[in-house]
Amino acid sequence: MKNICLLEGGTGQEIYKRSRKSAHPLWSAKVMMERPDIVKEVHKDFIKAGARILTINSYTITPTRLRRDGEVEWFKKLQLQATEIALKARDELESVAEDVQIAACLPPLTGSYIPDERSFAEIKQEYEQIVAIQKPIVDLFLIETIASIKEARAASEATLESGKTVYLSFTLSDKQPNQLRSGESIDEALDAVSGYSLDAILFNCSFPETISEGMKSLQHLNIPYGGYANGFTTVEPLKPGGTVGQLSARSDLDEEKYTSYVMEWINAGASIVGGCCEVGPSHIDHLRQRIEEEGYGIVSSRKVSLEQLKT
């Protein structure tokens, strides 16, 4: 029986929706500062839906973003707060706590979907700051929504020094599905990171249709792979320093439709799946049910080796 590692959905977007407040450039981190209970309940709802890897709510908590949109002095405090909330959410659900892993988030440092123009050394150094805080606490690292090869290499080098499990996830161009948002091809990106001992390659925060096309490029890999799509109509309006209030959700991507895309990926070999922005707990619950109905097992990588995920 093939085993599937089920990630949570779009935690940040879900937090933002439940807060019922105006969007802020720091997004769900701003909510966390004022209403940490909302963050914990979102995590718990994703666990109840079937997610077995929680990514901490630190997507916007980078030194660069904080200098621009908040206070850089908040960096360590908010990174630790995000981790603490995820741990509490897991531990309060005692019946499944042992099966849930906590992933640190290594996001794009300046803003989503736009390649970071700084030097490789500057980018790596900033990722190292996140790794230094999270390494003693988390189970694994998720490098996500990466738009360029340079950022992927910098984050990979910074994170692999931790000795922990590392997943690397690229975001793809919805106009050119076989390219990163930087314009570099998927094949170029895979070649550039092939020398790193990564534990999985994923695609995220792109249309599900885009990820379906891109997934064809991963089928030759000898490590686990997968994806988690967003439900936005477009991400074009969002620029560094902007807010998610500028984006809107698709009306055609209900639970059944999203699940059908993900099952295509699984049937084509993907073993690590979930959801990104606009994919909520109900989507993950529906997906979990379908995975089980199709005869696949849902596991935490705490309980199963990465080698077993490929079988």
- Secondary structure, 3-state, 63-120: HHHHHHHCCHHHHHHHHHHHHHHHHHHHHHCCCCHHHCEEEEEECCCCCCCCCCCCCH
Structure tokens at 97: 């706590």
Label residue 287 left, alpha or beta by phi (over 0 means left) and psi (-120 to 50 means alpha): alpha
CA dihedral (64, 66, 72, 77) in degrees, to 10, reads: -120
Residue 259 has pLDDT above 80, yes or no: yes
Structure letter (DSSP) for residue 302: T
178 pLDDT tier (thresholds 50, 70, 90): very high
Residue 220 has pLDDT above 60, yes or no: yes
Structure letter (DSSP) for residue 172: B
Residue range 94-122: average pLDDT? Answer: 95
Residue 20 has pLDDT above 50, yes or no: yes
Q: For residues 67 and 73, what is the distance between their CA atoms, to the nearest angstrom?
A: 9
Question: Can you tell me which residue has the tokens 């706590």?
Answer: 97
The percent of residues in the chain predicted with pLDDT above 70, rounded, is: 92
Structure tokens at 129: 């700051």
Domains in the chain (CATH in brackets) are 3-309 (3.20.20.330)
Residue 307 has pLDDT above 60, yes or no: no
CA distances from 35 to 61, 176, 195, 277 (A): 16, 39, 42, 20
pLDDT in tens, 248-257: 889 999 999 9
Side-chain-side CA neighbours of residue 32 (13 Å): 29
pLDDT in tens, 234-244: 877 666 666 66
308 pLDDT tier (thresholds 50, 70, 90): very low
Q: Tell me if residue 210 falls in helix, strand or coil.
A: helix
